[in-house]
Amino acid sequence: MTDLVIGSGLSGVSVAMALLNRGRQVLMLDPGGRLEASAQDRRDKLAASDPDTWSVDDQKIWQAPQFDTPPGQVRRFGSDFAMVPGAKTLVSPDQIGLRASHATGGLSNLWGSAVLPNRAEDIADWPISIEDLSPHYRAVAQFLPISGRQDDLQALFPVLAMRDRVPLNPSPQAQQMLQMLEQQESGLSDFGATIGMSRLAVDPGCQYCGQCLHGCPWGYIYSAQKTLDDLRHHSAFQIRTGLVHRFEEHTDHVTVTLDNGETLKATRVFVAAGVLETARLLLASSPEPTTSLQLQDSQHFFLPSLHRWRVPRRPDQRPYHTLPQIFIELDDPKVSPHLVHTQVYTWNEFYAHDLINSYGSKLPGSAPLWRMLARRLIVAQAFLHSAHSARINLTLATDGRLASTVNPNDETETVMARATSRLAQVMKLAGLAPLTFARRPGDVGSSFHVGGSVPMAKVPSSGQSDILGRPKGLSRVHLVDASSLPSIPATTITFSVMANAHRIGTLTL
């Protein structure tokens, strides 16, 4: 019998790597969603030529589907293959921004690729320490490309060594911001702020074609599919299509039932189905009378600013990338006892598009004005620790979907307001005019930094898991995606999910 991994996303490939390294046989299951052939053809056509030879129409066709998504849906490559429409998973999809994936590679086909490990202090109350995770961050960093450079952020996150890494070239606006902020060291420390270049899971061979938010034609933005391609060459690894419906644990094995009624037997099951699908599987399978699960969110907000300075070249002309450019970490107990993590985005095509859509019709002929304004816009996206964020209650509806209700957190607004005014001070140091009146919170769950529904505990009680991600009452089923994280620190979630999955795969007997 083999170990069975449910899901081929970032947590699935991380646990599979660890199991294979220990000589185990691994069977991975996922529903197998893939980019449709027509979208793949468009992608291949772009990738076959130099971005400087792309026509305006080529780019318009590539970008148009992303400008036209239903609420809550994130689309890349002109396709919805990587995100299940909300109504398929959730009874009331408009209540939360979180969505599931049924794609090979999962949500990593869509993600922003920002990576940071946890800061030791932010997980001081976890049953595992940063020392327990460190070797696994390092192991994951062997197959996850991480671009960036050694800078002040290193002191906060010593676990992720940046020496010898190659940074992406920052956009002209980010270059200017970094220069100004680097001259303001004492001002920054007065505000409890540390800044540095973003750490991104992007191959530094990047062509700077600016299509990051539409789907990288070459796949320079890492997705789990890259590691899967390597795993497929491993003789002890198999992957097959299958949507898991439920599982049942027995003394010496686990039986997994697929939605077509087929059953499979495994020695152990590692559930990496993404937090919504994992919740659905658990609620449908749990031997304990579990009737509801509670997801912890890391809520986020957007703070727009305008820059006063001139940039050496137009920000909307290649070469550039549109992923997060700069990270700002706020570390001040007057704001939060935990880090507030911020990602700074400079020019991208959505700025002008959204401004013209929102205000253009009220002022006919004003499109050039909004385009000009968009070239001065910089947006900071800030994330809070789950201690300050809402929770999402999930139960299983009779039709098999999840019914969700949001439990708001009384602290969210206060901490967001404190973080906004502190961030505004930092933005001013960078020569920006922060538009604090236009600060916009994201919907609950829409950060996709969500988990902790069955948090790990040293001595788990009902609704918790042990430090190998096994829900109380189960000994052969391990939750290896974000479901078993004890809390959600503000720093990006996925690198820690991957390290934890790798840790569980390494330590499980």
Ligand X SMILES: Cc1cc2nc3c(=O)[nH]c(=O)nc-3n(C[C@H](O)[C@H](O)[C@H](O)COP(=O)(O)OP(=O)(O)OC[C@H]3O[C@@H](n4cnc5c(N)ncnc54)[C@H](O)[C@@H]3O)c2cc1C
Q: Does position 148 bind ligand X by CB under 6 A? A: no
Smallest gap, in angstroms, from Cβ of residue 186 to ligand X?
Answer: 30
Smallest gap, in angstroms, from Cβ of residue 450 to ligand X?
Answer: 8
Q: Does position 272 bind ligand X by CB under 6 A? A: yes
Q: Provide the 10 A C-beta neighbour count for residue 425.
A: 15
For residues 412 and 296, the answer to whether their CB atoms sit within 8 Å is: no
Q: Does position 146 bind ligand X by CB under 6 A? A: no
Q: Does position 12 bind ligand X by CB under 6 A? A: yes
Smallest gap, in angstroms, from Cβ of residue 108 to ligand X?
Answer: 5
* DSSP codes joined into one string, 121-153: GGGTTSSS-HHHHHHHHHHHHHHS--B---SGG
**CA–CA dist 193, 182 (Å, integer):** 12
Task: Report the residue from 8, 95, 227, 296 that binds ligand X according to the rule CB under 6 A.
Answer: 8
Q: Does position 342 bind ligand X by CB under 6 A? A: no
Contact set for ligand X, span 455-484 (CB under 6 A): 481-482
Our CB check for ligand X shows the closer of 69 and 317 to be 69
Our CB check for ligand X shows the closer of 4 and 46 to be 4
Q: Does position 356 bind ligand X by CB under 6 A? A: no
Stretch that binds ligand X, among 169-177, 327-335, 413-421, 490-498 (CB under 6 A): 490-498
Q: Does position 160 bind ligand X by CB under 6 A? A: no
The single-letter DSSP state of residue 311 is P
Q: Does position 18 bind ligand X by CB under 6 A? A: no
Smallest gap, in angstroms, from Cβ of residue 414 to ligand X?
Answer: 25
Contact set for ligand X, span 203-262 (CB under 6 A): 243-244
How many residues form the binding site for ligand X (CB under 6 A)?
35
Smallest gap, in angstroms, from Cβ of residue 31 to ligand X?
Answer: 5
Phi-psi bin for 80: left (phi > 0), alpha (psi -120 to 50), beta? alpha
Question: CA of 396: how far to CAs of 30, 185, 297, 399, in Å?
Answer: 21, 51, 19, 8
For residues 59 and 75, the answer to whether their CB atoms sit within 8 Å is: no
Our CB check for ligand X shows the closer of 74 and 390 to be 74
Q: Does position 11 bind ligand X by CB under 6 A? A: yes
Q: Does position 490 bind ligand X by CB under 6 A? A: no
Q: Does position 274 bind ligand X by CB under 6 A? A: yes
DSSP E strands: which ranges in 10-137? 26-30
Q: Does position 102 bind ligand X by CB under 6 A? A: yes
Stretch that binds ligand X, among 41-49, 100-108, 130-138, 247-255 (CB under 6 A): 100-108
Task: Report the residue from 65, 86, 112, 489 that binds ligand X according to the rule CB under 6 A.
Answer: 112
Our CB check for ligand X shows the closer of 282 and 335 to be 282
**CA–CA dist 186, 192 (Å, integer):** 10
* DSSP codes joined into one string, 405-469: EEE--TTHHHHHHHHHHHHHHHHHHTTEEE-GGG-EEPPTTTT--EE-SS-B-SS--TT-B-TTS
Our CB check for ligand X shows the closer of 184 and 285 to be 285
Our CB check for ligand X shows the closer of 74 and 168 to be 74
Q: Does position 107 bind ligand X by CB under 6 A? A: yes
Q: Does position 171 bind ligand X by CB under 6 A? A: no
Q: State the burial class of residue 415 (Cβ atoms within 10 Å of its Cβ: 0-12, 13-18, 19+).
A: buried
Smallest gap, in angstroms, from Cβ of residue 309 to ligand X?
Answer: 27
Task: Report the residue from 3, 4, 5, 10 that binds ligand X according to the rule CB under 6 A.
Answer: 10
Stretch that binds ligand X, among 55-63, 389-397, 459-467, 491-499 (CB under 6 A): 491-499
Q: In degrees rounded to 5, what are phi and psi of residue 241?
A: -80, 135
Q: Does position 101 bind ligand X by CB under 6 A? A: yes
Task: Report the residue from 103, 178, 279, 427 that binds ligand X according to the rule CB under 6 A.
Answer: 103
Structure-token pair, residue 209: 């074609």
Q: Which of 399, 407, 393 is nearest to 284 (CA)?
A: 399
Phi-psi bin for 273: left (phi > 0), alpha (psi -120 to 50), beta? alpha
Q: Which residues contact 378 (CB under 8 A, 6 or more apart)?
A: 173, 177, 304, 305, 306, 307, 344, 345, 346, 427, 432
Q: What b-and-e string marks burial along 383-398, b requiring 16 or more CB atoms within 10 Å of the CB?
A: bbbbbbbbbbbbebee
Contact set for ligand X, span 396-455 (CB under 6 A): 448
Calculate helix-pair angle for 130-143, 494-507, nearest 10 degrees. 100
The single-letter DSSP state of residue 79 is B
Q: Does position 114 bind ligand X by CB under 6 A? A: yes
User: Strand 263-266's sheet: what is its strand order?
Assistant: 244-249, 254-258, 263-266
For residues 80 and 73, the answer to whether their CB atoms sit within 8 Å is: yes
Stretch that binds ligand X, among 138-146, 397-405, 414-422, 493-501 (CB under 6 A): 493-501
Q: Under the rule (CB under 6 A), what is the footprint of ligand X?
A: 6-12, 29-31, 74, 101-103, 106-108, 110-114, 243-244, 272-274, 277, 448, 481-482, 492-494, 497
